[in-house]
Amino acid sequence: MSDLKFAVYGSRRQNDNVDNLRRLIISLAIEGAQVAVHEKLYDYLTCDMQLLLPGVERVVNFPDDATMAISVGGDGTFLRTVAWKNNHGAPILGVNTGHLGFLTAINLDEAIKDIDKILACDFRRDHATMLQVVAPDLKGSHFALNEVVVAKEDSSSMISVHASLNDRSIATYRADGLVVATPTGSTAYNLSVGGPIIEPAAPVWVLSPIAAHSLTLRPLVVCDNGELKLNVEGRGSRFRLVLDGRQTSLPLGTQVIIKKRKESVVILQRHDRDFTRIIGEKLLFNE
């Protein structure tokens, strides 16, 4: 199995899981696969936890020859794995050691038990669309899997977000901010501000205001095949642009353009774990 290479990214908040995490990594290597671990997780395991990882490679950048990315943590870790992977086409398997874990397929015990399934990539492949963002002075990655958020600075007054789709005006959102979420991200920040849950395969985005000044401004679902423009104004001087938790401060008056990214993310899930089962488990719909 020397042609298999697993790139592992994980949260360093793993004190209760380090032994099993090491067991997972070593099990893959023992089966003949190549294993590359992101430098921060590698250093945490080998330096902070004093564990040995024989035959395991320490890497900074995502390996070009990786056949699968493994994200160990919660949904936040999964999003950071997407950013690390950038536009590499390798699928991502989420191993949950966090809380809700909407994006993760299995927990750590299951990963160790089902090591043969990981080696055979015996999972359903879900293709998740992403958001591509264009804005002046935007730092870091210009894409998001879950959502793009424009929000006021912490101590400033509310902002006005003029939203248009394909150059046709939608609304002016006078609010603390606006969430533009993909179906994948509909169960994240969008859900917490009152937005709808969207089936992952739906070709749509949802626009959900944060603490809107007007009671008539409600979450809005739009097709994802257009160009969304957000012009942000206000009485302060700057606003926050947040892509999957990665923040940039931009001057008010900046225009933010959002499109669907050409590349999708392949998320691996168990064959028996579909959307309805996931929301039933995580949100206790059937309780």
pLDDT tens per residue across span 8-59:
999 888 888 999 999 999 999 999 999 999 999 999 999 999 999 999 999 9
pLDDT class of 286 with cuts at 50, 70, 90: low
Average pLDDT over residues 235-259: 94
What does the buried/exposed string (b/e) look like for 246-255 if buried means 16 or more CB atoms within 10 Å of the residue's CB? bebebebebe
pLDDT in tens, 58-117: 999 999 999 999 999 999 999 999 999 988 999 999 999 977 788 998 999 999 999 999
Q: What is the reported pLDDT for 184?
A: 96
Q: Which residues of 53-92 are buried (b: 16+ CB within 10 A; e: fewer)?
A: beebeebeebbeebbbbbbbbbbbbbbbbbbbbeebebbb
Contact yes or no for 166/206 (Cβ under 8 A):
no
pLDDT of res. 40:
96
Residue 1 structure tokens: 């199995």
64 with 2: CB under 8 angstroms?
Answer: no
40 Cβ neighbours under 8 A, 6+ residues apart: 12
> Residues 75, 176, 224, 244: which is the catalytic one?
75
User: How much is the pLDDT for 2?
Assistant: 62
Q: Answer yes or no: is pLDDT of 158 > 80.
A: yes
Q: Are 106 and 124 in contact (CB under 8 A)?
A: no
Q: If you compute the radius of gyration of the chain from its CA atoms, what whole number of angstroms results? A: 20
The CA-atom distances, in angstroms, between 156 and each of 124, 162, 246 are 45, 18, 20
Write the DSSP assignment of 27-56 as a string of letters.
HHHHTT-EEEEEHHHHHIIIIIS----TTP
Helix, strand, coil abundance in the chain, percent, nearest 5 = 20, 35, 40
Give the pLDDT band of residue 1 (cuts 50, 70, 90): very low
Distance CA(241)–CA(231), nearest Å, equals 12
75 is catalytic: yes
pLDDT tens-digit readout, 183-229: 999 999 999 999 999 999 999 999 999 999 988 899 999 999 999 99
Q: Which two tokens stand for residue 214?
A: 């007007």
Binning pLDDT at 50, 70 and 90, where does residue 284 land?
Answer: confident
For strands 5-10 and 68-73, give the pairing. Answer: parallel
Tokens of 112: 């160790």
Reply yes or no on whether the pLDDT at 142 is more than 60.
yes
Residue 282 token pair: 């995580």
pLDDT in the model for residue 24: 97
In the predicted structure, residue 162 carries a pLDDT above the cut 50 = yes
Higher per-residue pLDDT: 150 or 3: 150
pTM score over 0.85? yes
